[in-house]
A = this chain, B = another copy of it.
C-alpha cells in the first residue's frame, strides 16, 4: 500500500518532517510518500494562502493518482483543501486536524486545541464544527508564533506551548491536548512528559487512519458532494487537470 502525505506549503523542511513522522508509524507493507506543491506559499496562515495551497494539493493528488497511490494525508492544521483532494482522489483522504479530533474523542471526554498563529484559530474552529466536536473540544487556543518559526527551532515555542496547554487543562478542564501545527511534531514526546495528559499530533494519526481505511477497502463516496469533478474546459492554472475515469 502507498500512502502519500501532502504538505500544502512549499517549505521542504516540513515535508521531510511529515515524511519521517509517517514512516515512523507505518505498518509493514505500507510505503509512505510525501510531496509538496512546486509553487505556492511557504506556509498556510490565511484564507488566500489556503486557496493557493489547494491548487497545489490537487496537483499533488493527481500526481499520486498516476503513481497508484492508495490514500492521502493532508498535513496542514485546518485540513486545507481536503474536499478538493477527496474529489480528485480515488482512495481515501484524511486531514491531520480531523484525525487528531477523532483520536482525542476516543481517549478523552473533553479536550482543547493549541494552535498557531492566532489568526488560524478560524481554520481549527471550522474543522471542529465540521467534525461535530464543538461540545467536546472546549476551546481553540493559540500562541503568538508564526508557522515558519517552527521550521528550525521548534524548541523556541516550547515554553509558550506549555503555558497555553496548562491553561487549557486548568481553565477548560481539557483532559487531552491537540497540537495544532504539523511543524510541532518534535514537541510531542517532551510535552506528554511535561503535561501528564495525552498530546495528539495529527499527521501521524492521519497516516494510521488512512492506512486503516485503505486496508478496509473504504474510500470517498462518489455518488454526491465529493464525486470526481465534472469534465469541463478549464483555463489557467487548472487547464491541465484531468480527473477520475476521464483522467486516469
CA distance A218 to B189 in the complex (A): 11
CA distance A103 to B135 in the complex (A): 20
Q: Which residue of B lies closest to A126 (CB)?
A: B130
Q: Which residues of B contact A136 (CB under 8 A)?
A: 132
The interface bits of chain A over 198-236 (1 if a CB of B lies within 8 angstroms of the residue's CB, else 0) are 101100110011011101111111011111011011111
* A interface residue count range (under 10 / 10 to 19 / 20 to 34 / 35 or more): 35 or more
Asked if A27 is at the interface (CB within 8 A of a chain B CB), the reply is yes
Q: Which residue of B lies closest to A49 (CB)?
A: B229
Asked if A158 is at the interface (CB within 8 A of a chain B CB), the reply is no
Q: Which residues of B contact A164 (CB under 8 A)?
A: none
Choose one: B52, B192, B221, B238; the contact of A175 (CB below 8 Å): B221
CA distance A192 to B232 in the complex (A): 30
Whether the pair A47, B234 counts as a contact (CB closer than 8 A) is: no
Asked if A55 is at the interface (CB within 8 A of a chain B CB), the reply is yes
Number of copies: 6
- Nearest chain B CB to A218 CB, angstrom units: 6
Q: Which of A41, A83, A107, A243 has the most CB of B within 10 A?
A: A107
Whether the pair B102, A48 counts as a contact (CB closer than 8 A) is: no
Q: Which of A106, A198, A215 has the most CB of B within 10 A?
A: A106
Q: Which residue of B lies closest to A27 (CB)?
A: B27
8 contacts between A and B (CB under 8 A): A25-B215, A40-B236, A106-B209, A108-B221, A173-B224, A208-B213, A209-B212, A212-B212
The 7 closest A-B pairs by CB, nearest first: A39-B236, A208-B212, A132-B132, A122-B225, A51-B54, A27-B27, A47-B83
14 new A-B pairs (CB below 8 Å) besides A108-B220, A204-B216?
Answer: A39-B235, A47-B86, A47-B87, A48-B58, A92-B107, A102-B102, A108-B221, A109-B122, A109-B225, A132-B133, A132-B134, A175-B223, A197-B223, A237-B237
